[in-house]
């Protein structure tokens, strides 16, 4: 029953109406809480113009409890910010690690190396948690193989295709100080910079 139909049902039960109204209020509260969590998460993620986003991260040499806490925090921030990947440089940590989700499982990737990059590529829209609402087309390999370590220092090999492959290439770029504005076409870059420059001035 649509809201329009509901308006013309004069014989509806008041208890049912109150229940539906309560559900509506609950949904609104959940949406408001979600928006608040996202704003809070984004406040912890470095934004365009921060010099750390242009720095090359260093190899991780120590696998300890502090590293576990860092990756847990990054995974939480990623989800709260509605992201699918987050690099350590995006939280101001110059270490070669990132977290990502394939929609079913979360991964921690430490000291990654792309060992195979497929020849077939695809151009698709990408966004970045460090670039606000700005999106732009980026060409990526459809398939990649990544060799890395997990959070405990154990060997990790990932053979990825489609969206997960795109995500890890995006996060891998972050570890070398490369952003999607460096990967897009000139016209899209100009359009993106037109949006980013005012944000840059306001953040100073």
Point out the catalytic residue in the list 59, 171, 187, 191.
171
Sort 147 into a burial class: Cβ within 10 Å, 0-12 / 13-18 / 19+. middle
CA-based torsion, 92, 103, 68, 40: positive or negative: positive
Comparing CA positions, the residue from 200, 104, 92, 108 lying closest to residue 153 is 108
CA-closest candidate to residue 134, choices 53, 199, 39? 199
3-state secondary structure string, 124-167?
EEEECCCCCCCEEEEEEECEEEEEEECCCCCEEEEEEECHHHHH
| β-pairing verdict for 155-161 and 85-87 | unpaired
161 is catalytic: no
CA angle 82, 151, 105 (to 5 degrees): 40
Active site (catalytic) residues: 171
């Amino acid at each position: 029953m649509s809201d329009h139909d509901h308006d013309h049902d004069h014989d509806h039960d008041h208890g049912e109406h109150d229940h539906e109204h309560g559900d509506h209020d609950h949904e609104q509260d959940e949406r408001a809480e979600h928006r608040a969590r996202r704003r809070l998460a984004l406040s912890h993620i470095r934004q365009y113009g921060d010099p750390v986003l242009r720095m090359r991260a260093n190899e991780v040499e120590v696998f300890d409890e502090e590293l576990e806490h860092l990756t847990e925090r990054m995974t939480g921030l990623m989800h709260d910010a509605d992201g699918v990947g987050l690099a350590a440089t995006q939280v101001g940590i110059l270490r070669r690690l990132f977290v990502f989700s394939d929609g079913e499982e979360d991964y921690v990737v430490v000291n990654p190396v792309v060992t195979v990059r497929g020849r077939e590529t695809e151009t698709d829209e990408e966004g970045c948690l460090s670039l606000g609402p700005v999106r732009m087309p980026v060409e990526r390999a459809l398939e990649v193989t990544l060799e890395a370590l997990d959070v405990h220092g154990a060997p990790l090999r990932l053979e990825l295709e489609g969206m997960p492959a795109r995500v890890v290439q995006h996060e891998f770029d972050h570890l070398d100080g490369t952003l999607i504005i460096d990967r897009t076409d000139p016209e899209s870059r100009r359009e993106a910079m037109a949006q980013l420059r005012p944000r840059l001035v306001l953040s100073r």
